[in-house]
């Protein structure tokens, strides 16, 4: 009896908290307990909670401070999980933006568009899937075609010795020759373009180029505030 008298404030506190919580939920969702079966289920759950909670509180080894600390910890964990689930899409978007800052070529997809941050040198490098092979391409609006480096062309399965390097290109370094080829599909994020004209460069290149033969197939693209935006 003395044990119960010393612990009855816990029953009172738990009862007040449950009553307040139920009142708030009922006010917020009045239709949730409209049916008799739902009210019966609620009463059954409350009785079970009171029974289990009473058994815990009346146990000889029950310690109020430890129980309160554990309750607060679990409430904090539950609140954290609830907030994480509620804002999961916002956290995903933030994570992608942070990753795009660290690896600019990955891009961020939003509303069907994909955007890329400029690299440290001010250039835009995009990660593309070309005929099933992942390549990192330097965006070059001055290039009429997608220009593949010999190394990337080999990765795509082109036999360089069988290509005809007959196409002339005028560049800042003079005239270079390339071998015309056609790419079955170039995919960048949600954007997919088939039958893209390309050229294999006759000389080694540090990086392949994403030229106008791809960009002209888009509905639009622009650079704003240091960000390249591609629209399908």
pLDDT in tens, 154-179: 999 999 999 999 888 776 667 888 99
Which helix (H) or strand (E) covers residue 182, if one does? strand 174-188
Q: Give tens-digit pLDDT for 106-159.
A: 778 888 889 888 876 788 999 999 999 999 999 999 899 999 999 999 999 999
Report strand pairing: 133-139 vs 125-130.
antiparallel
Topology annotation, domain 103-231: Cathepsin D, subunit A; domain 1 (2.40.70)
Residue of 198, 197, 191, 196 whose CA lies nearest to 221: 191
Residue pair 137/207 in contact (Cβ under 8 Å)? The answer is: yes
CA triplet 193, 221, 131: central angle to 5 degrees?
20
Residue of 165, 232, 170 whose CA lies nearest to 203: 165
Residue pair 68/9 in contact (Cβ under 8 Å)? The answer is: no
Q: Using DSSP, state whether 142 is helix, strand or coil.
A: coil
Q: What is the pTM of this model?
A: 0.58
Q: Which long-range contacts (CB under 8 A, 24 or more apart) does 168-172 make?
A: 169/143, 169/144, 169/199
């Amino acid at each position: 009896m003395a044990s119960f008298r010393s612990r009855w404030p816990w029953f009172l506190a738990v009862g007040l908290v449950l009553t307040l919580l139920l009142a708030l939920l009922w006010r917020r969702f009045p239709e949730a307990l409209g049916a008799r079966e739902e009210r019966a289920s609620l009463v059954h759950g409350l009785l079970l909670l009171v029974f289990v909670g009473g058994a815990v509180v009346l146990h000889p080894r029950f310690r109020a401070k430890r129980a309160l600390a554990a309750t607060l910890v679990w409430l904090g964990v539950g609140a954290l999980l609830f907030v994480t689930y509620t804002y999961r899409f916002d956290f995903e978007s933030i994570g992608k933006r942070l990753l795009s800052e660290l690896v600019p070529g990955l891009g961020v997809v939003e509303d069907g568009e994909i955007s890329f941050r400029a690299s440290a040198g001010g250039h835009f490098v995009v990660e593309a899937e070309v005929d099933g092979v992942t390549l990192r391409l330097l965006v070059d609006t001055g290039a009429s075609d997608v220009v593949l480096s010999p190394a990337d062309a080999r990765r795509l399965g082109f036999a360089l010795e069988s290509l005809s390097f007959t196409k002339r290109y005028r560049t800042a370094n003079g005239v270079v020759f390339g071998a015309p080829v056609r790419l079955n599909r170039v995919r960048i994020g949600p954007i997919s373009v088939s039958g893209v004209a390309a050229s294999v460069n006759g000389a080694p290149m540090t990086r392949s180029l994403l030229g106008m033969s791809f960009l002209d197939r888009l509905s639009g693209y622009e650079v704003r505030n240091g960000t390249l935006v591609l629209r399908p």
